[in-house]
Structure 1
Amino acid sequence: MKLKYLFIATILSSATFAQTQKDSLKEIEQVNILVRKKLLERKADRLIFNVDASIASQGMDAGETLANVPMLKVDENLGTVSITGKSSVNVMINGKMLNLSGTALLNYLKSIRSENISKIEVITTPPSKYEAQGNSGLINIILKKNPNLGFSGNISTGLTQRTYFNGSTNGTLNYQTEKLSLNLKTSYIEGAKRADERFTILGASQNYSRSVRKDMWQDLTPNLSASYKINKNSEVGVEYIFDNGKNGMNILNTTRNISPDLDEKNFLTNTYHREKSPTHTFSTYYDLKLDSLGKKLSFTGNFYKNNNDTEVNFSTLTLPENTIQDVKTLSMIKPQIFSVQGDLELPFSFGTIETGVKFNQFRNSADLKYLDWEDNQFVIDDEKSSTFNYREENYAAYASFAKSFGEHWETKAGLRYENTFVKSTVNNFSYGQWFPSAYVSYKEDKNVFSLSYSRRINRPSMSNLNPFRWYENPQSYSTGNPLLTPSYINNYELGYTYNNKFSTSIYYLKLKNAFGQLAYLDGRSQTGDYQNYYNNDFYGMNASYTDTFFKFWEANITANASYQTSEVFNINAPTLKGYSLSYSINNTFILNKTKTVALFLNYDQSLPYKNVNSRFENFSNLNSGFKISLMEKQLQINATVTNIFGQRYKGQMYFEDSKQLMNNYWDGRSLRLSVNYTFGNKKQINKKNINFEEKDRAQ
């Protein structure tokens, strides 16, 4: 009998325990709902966008997710990611600089799913820990820290129809244990798009040029990474990326030239451009925890090598002479980058100290051969051929101190010193610069205020420095300038966030010794090069509001207004003071109760504005589409129509003796379909990413 009662008591106890578990789970779910991540967070030195809190950002790739972040703009036509009202920014993954630009950057972002992104940090005034290189700051994409234990992965494919068909395939396979992490990622893209560029110079001579271009690319990129936890305090990791890029262009250029005495000539040029650009990137790191309080020592090393082999053939028909000139250029460019750094993080009760040192070396050898077709063979023209060797070494050290005062105040200040030595075929020089940064924020209930300052540098890339002549026809070419010097940026910003939904900032940006590409017309010869030629003062304001209405509609509204003044040097040109105004409205509508089907409708517009000696016309963009999630979000299907209006980019540049007109279309209107499938174990563990910040200057 006692056993019977004991048995019944056990059952009742188990039932009670089960019910208690259910009640506890309900309570946990309720707590999770209450502590759901805030959409926006303002920190002392950055604005944080939590992806999981955004309905609009589910079932997307990283590029589409960035477009949902307040004040960020992703322009696939220009191949840029920028902060509204400012210039392009560098993109990082877990603090690791991607160092990609244009189509390569956007294609890489397409391989990352929003489900794997924890948050996106917009750092408009980067702290001293980061490289001082770059105009307007950094975007740091923080991936979720716990890749799955065991085997997992995903595969995705995308189809895009512009004028030409485009396709991409990405695959990821992970294997994770408590100590060992292996990751293999492979992406393949192949496609083309059409460009229609019209450029006119009106002065003593007149030059009317139009290029209709087919840009083609084929890119296979395997990526292998591994990490191993030696013990509870130390970890080592490596990563290798091989990019087997093959690009090409077929160009038809028509140029009409009218001399001051009204003598007219016409050039019709067919260009065949083919490029192979295999690159190797190797990175390694070692992390050592010094104690249980968070003190940490880290070492990172990176190596990058590229062998760019390009052949360009162009044939020009000149009228009215009715003569044909055939020319070939062969170029071999070999940039190579090596960097090593050490970082020490020391949290104490009185604040956190960060300090570190870094060395990086950038080398490049370039050889261009210009060949004329003579006597049924190509003959090298030594006067138009050239070689260029460049070596740059940068030594850097930094220190910063961060401290919080109670629950309301957060402060951080740092100082970075970079000493640079340059040796090239043309000249040798060195320069050292200090780069301070400081931040303070105050939080009270739903209000967050922040004030920040940082100094930055923008060093010329290899394409800016390389003195090669890239010919469009025998009369027209563009070249780099090995005498370019860096520009410097001072950025001040006052920010405010309310209720994690409304965010605004007032900023002042002072740009000195800025450089850009300029075109000239000397008789029949049209040339272009890079020059340091202007200083800028920007006064601006950003504002954004993101919220969910009626539980099915998420809207993100942003606006930017700015006023700029400029001064020019090294050129004769008027300066144009100007106002700018741009805005965007992104809408996502959930169409069913399970939130697996959504429609989005996005619109942005930039009103006409002036900058330095240029004026840019109105540009607007309308995108729409839908996304479907199936199989508990393991299968994602997206369809999108972009640039529905098929808008062209138009602008003018003014000089004392001439005017230049631009009218371009870069195949922005497209229909896209993408499918992503995720598989594997769901159990998770932490993972580390490696930092490599210098590769972008090899572009």
Structure 2
Amino acid sequence: MKKIFLIAASLLSIFSYAQKKDSLQIKNIETVTINGKKKALLERKADRLIFNVEASIASQGMDGAETLANVPMLKVDDNLGNISITGKSSVNVMINGRMLNLSGTALLNYLKTIRSENIAKIEVITTPPAKYEAQGNSGLINIVLKKNPNLGFSGNINSTLIQRTYSGFSNSGTLNYQTERFSGSVKFNYYDSAKRSEENYTILGATQNYSRSVRKDMWNELTPNLNLSYKLNKNSEIGVEYIYAHQKSAMNIVNETKNINPDSTVENLLTHTFHREKLPAHTLSAYYDLKLDTLGKKLSFAGNFFKNNSDTDVNFSTLKVNDNSVQDVKTTSIISPQVFSLQGDLKLPFSFGTIETGLKFNQFKNSTDLQYFNIINNQYIPDLQRANLFNYQEENYAAYVSYTKSFGEHWETKAGLRYENTHAQSFTPSTNTGNSYNYGQWFPSAFVSYKQDKNIFNLSYSRRINRPSMSNLNPFRWYSNPYSYSSGNPLLTPSYINNLELGYTYNSKFSASIYYLKLKNGFGQISMINGLSQIGTYLNYYNNDFYGFNVSYTGKFFKFWEASLSVNGSLTDSKVYNIEAETWKGHSLSYSFNNTFTLNKSKTLFFFANYSQDLPYKNVNSSFQNFSNLNSGIKISLMEKQLQINATVTNIFAQKYRGNMYFSDNSQHFNNYWDGRSFRLSVNYTFGNNKKKVNTKNIKFDEKDRAQ
């Protein structure tokens, strides 16, 4: 194992944030107290659950990803590289209402550049209202950052070292400059890491296929970010943000495949794969905000543009062990997604309630070019039967209106209606085939909340749509060897989801909810065997009725121990079509127990131990085995909390992910380990001048994630 060296920067002239004056203001989200009272850990609004980060000792001195793991109903899985909300198949993350175009490991790496000290609150929106995109069977997580408290120069630097099988590191920094009217910030994030993965996949039927892959995944990314805003006058502001992501990824894979045919003949393949990808991405966003009066009426315009050019080379050499023949192949692919959006929003608060309305236009374009070459005597021979071109364009037009009204101190209501019209067309030049879709749908939502003393009840409903992503639709064949491939399906159609949820919060510590989700026309990836070929594609193939509950409690036991306990369960009734599969009544049960211990009187040294377990569960035609996870570490705060040092060990038991899928003519089984056990050592340092609080605008760009 390589030695790890940590270089911590040392800077001069450090200060503490002065918050005494602001601690008496009810509307200031940065303070811990309201009217002299300690701020509640949990708050319930009509359409969201709010977790106040400053009220949680466990969430201090952490990065953004670790902070999310402390929030009820949220689960952060560093092994799989995903974030989920209980009862949701996916989740979208916003920063101050601006959607992030990140997912998986890239999203987690970005969140690790945010410090919990800079987060005011985290909003969990399980049934998004009409203002937000109706796309996806997903909830929303909105991370609300504190207002930048500094005039003049300020900033922070962070360095993290990661030890898995291989060593890695990430560095990030922010430099801010602000005056009374101008605000500018330059940010950067550099990440370089690798991990070892082992994947075992077995298909048992008339033909039996056993596959084992050992893979080294490598990432290298540099992401600078420029954010500028200017107040034209006391009522109007303009701003622009530019993000450039220079990303490189690579995989070295050794795959062994054993295929037993119905006549009992055995074929063995050994494939070495070298995958290299360059992924430069540009995002440009601009906004204009205009306050129409002093009562809160506001008009906002925003425009966004995103362009990405993925250039990928894959070289693989396959040895057919039976006859000792070798087949060398090279594939190249260029993928160029482009997203443009323009929106306008109007907020009109009146004495009888608040009306919000808006219009939005989105355009998605994507062109892809895959070339396949057989390498014979060092010559690249094109295989036109396996090459492909694919063009896709989609336009969405949306309009919404919502109405919010509070009745006295106890009742809060919100209702909205959104209409989205979609026109999509795809074309494959090589086969001269294409598809075209044009559909419009209404998406209603409604919320009601009742508060009485320490008790808060809320009821919510929303309807949503899950459109396939560009990669789901792309008919490209992505080959892992000359015989096996996966591809998208241009004939996929959207699925529709109805969500109903009843929630309860007591004393800002105990939270519970029961929910029902009805999904129609669900789609996913299906694998099948055809001789030596293992083929994966996407199909619409199931409907779901999903019933679930969530219970959580966060509180202090003695003065030094803060604990959080969460329990989740569900029942599922599924029906499949387009495939022959065995289905059953699904069920799941999981729990987590997080503990943070304060080790000294000055509250600068902490020890934490977090344990979670997913008991064996079933869904549609799949079953998954038990998975448990134990993370532990220490946190140290120095120099009046301006220097933070964290040491963490994750997935101490090195658990594997194991599961099964059952079809009428075969069963499929996986047993995977993605290098989950790791040691992390991070240092964060904050510097700057503290004079006066100034707002920084963040821009929404909801639809960029569908370019993935």
Is the Cα contact below 8 Å between 2:75 and 2:85 reproduced in 1?
Answer: yes
CA deviation digits over 1:234-257, x for unaligned, max 9?
A: 000000000000001000000000
Aligned to 1:365: 367
Q: Is 1:623 the equivalent of 2:625?
A: no
Output the CA distance in 1 between the equivalents of 2:32 and 2:610: 33
Output the CA distance in 1 between the equivalents of 2:179 and 2:217: 44
Aligned to 1:693: 702
Q: Is 1:484 the equivalent of 2:486?
A: no
Output the CA distance in 2 between the equivalents of 1:478 and 1:156: 39
- One-letter amino acid matched to 2:507: N
1:88 CA drift (Å): 2.3
Give the SS at the match of 1:105: helix
Q: Is 1:449 the equivalent of 2:451?
A: no
Q: Is 1:268 the equivalent of 2:270?
A: yes
What are the within-5 Å matches in structure 2 for residues 325-340 of structure 1? 325-340=327-342
- One-letter amino acid matched to 2:652: I
Q: Is 1:517 the equivalent of 2:519?
A: no
Aligned to 1:461: 469
Give the SS at the match of 1:108: helix
What are the within-5 Å matches in structure 2 for residues 245-256 of structure 1? 245-256=247-258
1:30 CA drift (Å): 12
Output the CA distance in 1 between the equivalents of 2:22 and 2:511: 35
Aligned to 2:128: 126
Aligned to 1:641: 649
1:578 CA drift (Å): 2.0
Bigger Rg over Cα: 1
- One-letter amino acid matched to 1:695: K
Identity rate of aligned residues, in percent? 72
Output the CA distance in 1 between the equivalents of 2:193 and 2:484: 28
Aligned to 1:418: 420
1:319 CA drift (Å): 1.4
Which of 292, 299, 312 does residue 297 from structure 1 map onto?
299
Q: Is 1:554 the equivalent of 2:562?
A: yes
Aligned to 1:389: 391
1:461 CA drift (Å): 1.2
1:33 CA drift (Å): 8.1
CA deviation digits over 1:402-458, x for unaligned, max 9?
A: 000000000000000000000110211111111100000000000000000001111
Aligned to 1:668: 676
1:99 CA drift (Å): 2.1
Is the Cα contact below 8 Å between 1:147 and 1:176 reproduced in 2?
Answer: no
Aligned to 2:198: 196
Aligned to 1:241: 243
Aligned to 2:378: 376
Output the CA distance in 2 between the equivalents of 1:687 and 1:198: 48
Which of 227, 230, 245 does residue 228 from structure 1 map onto?
230
Is the Cα contact below 8 Å between 1:147 and 1:687 reproduced in 2?
Answer: no
Give the SS at the match of 1:118: strand
* Aligned Cα root-mean-square deviation (Å): 1.5
Report how many residues are paired.
677
1:41–1:321 Cα change, 3 Å: same
Give the SS at the match of 1:291: coil
1:27 CA drift (Å): 10
Give the SS at the match of 1:427: strand
Is the Cα contact below 8 Å between 1:328 and 1:372 reproduced in 2?
Answer: yes
- One-letter amino acid matched to 1:553: W
1:170 CA drift (Å): 0.2
CA deviation digits over 1:339-361, x for unaligned, max 9?
A: 00000000000000000000010
Give the SS at the match of 1:89: strand
- One-letter amino acid matched to 1:124: T
What are the within-5 Å matches in structure 2 for residues 143-158 of structure 1? 143-158=145-160
- One-letter amino acid matched to 2:581: A
What are the within-5 Å matches in structure 2 for residues 676-691 of structure 1? 676-683=684-691, 684-691=693-700
Is the Cα contact below 8 Å between 1:75 and 1:81 reproduced in 2?
Answer: yes
Which of 106, 109, 131 does residue 108 from structure 2 map onto?
106
Is the Cα contact below 8 Å between 2:88 and 2:139 reproduced in 1?
Answer: no
- One-letter amino acid matched to 1:688: K
CA deviation digits over 1:456-515, x for unaligned, max 9?
A: 111111211111111111111111111111111110000000000000001001111111
1:31 CA drift (Å): 7.4
- One-letter amino acid matched to 1:696: D
Q: Is 1:536 the equivalent of 2:544?
A: yes
1:147 CA drift (Å): 4.0
Output the CA distance in 2 between the equivalents of 1:108 and 1:167: 13
Aligned to 2:5: none
1:374 CA drift (Å): 2.4
Aligned to 1:214: 216
Is the Cα contact below 8 Å between 2:33 and 2:39 reproduced in 1?
Answer: no
1:627 CA drift (Å): 0.3
Give the SS at the match of 1:317: strand
1:25–1:576 Cα change, 3 Å: closer
1:33–1:604 Cα change, 3 Å: farther
Output the CA distance in 2 between the equivalents of 1:385 and 1:437: 45
- One-letter amino acid matched to 2:436: N
Stretch moving more, 324-333 or 370-379: 370-379
Output the CA distance in 1 between the equivalents of 2:540 and 2:270: 33
Stretch moving more, 505-514 or 77-86: 77-86
1:34–1:576 Cα change, 3 Å: same
Which of 174, 178, 185 does residue 172 from structure 1 map onto?
174
Output the CA distance in 1 between the equivalents of 2:267 and 2:314: 24
- One-letter amino acid matched to 2:185: N
What are the within-5 Å matches in structure 2 for residues 69-108 of structure 1? 69-108=71-110
Is the Cα contact below 8 Å between 2:172 and 2:188 reproduced in 1?
Answer: yes
Give the SS at the match of 2:706: helix
What are the within-5 Å matches in structure 2 for residues 176-187 of structure 1? 176-187=178-189
1:524 CA drift (Å): 1.6
Aligned to 1:20: none
Output the CA distance in 1 between the equivalents of 2:566 and 2:648: 21
- One-letter amino acid matched to 2:525: Q
1:315 CA drift (Å): 0.1
CA deviation digits over 1:40-93, x for unaligned, max 9?
A: 001100000000000000001100000000111000111111013432210000
State the TM-score, normalized to the length of structure 1: 0.95
Give the SS at the match of 2:138: coil
Unaligned stretches of 5+ residues in structure 1: 1-22
Output the CA distance in 1 between the equivalents of 2:418 and 2:213: 45
Give the SS at the match of 1:530: strand
State the TM-score, normalized to the length of structure 2: 0.94
Output the CA distance in 1 between the equivalents of 2:36 and 2:293: 34
1:186 CA drift (Å): 0.4
Aligned to 1:62: 64
1:27–1:329 Cα change, 3 Å: closer
The structure 1 segments of at least 4 consecutive aligned residues displaced by more than 4 Å after TM superposition are 23-33
Output the CA distance in 1 between the equivalents of 2:35 and 2:594: 25
CA deviation digits over 1:274-316, x for unaligned, max 9?
A: 0000000000000000000000000000000001000000000
1:32 CA drift (Å): 5.7
Q: Is 1:588 the equivalent of 2:596?
A: yes
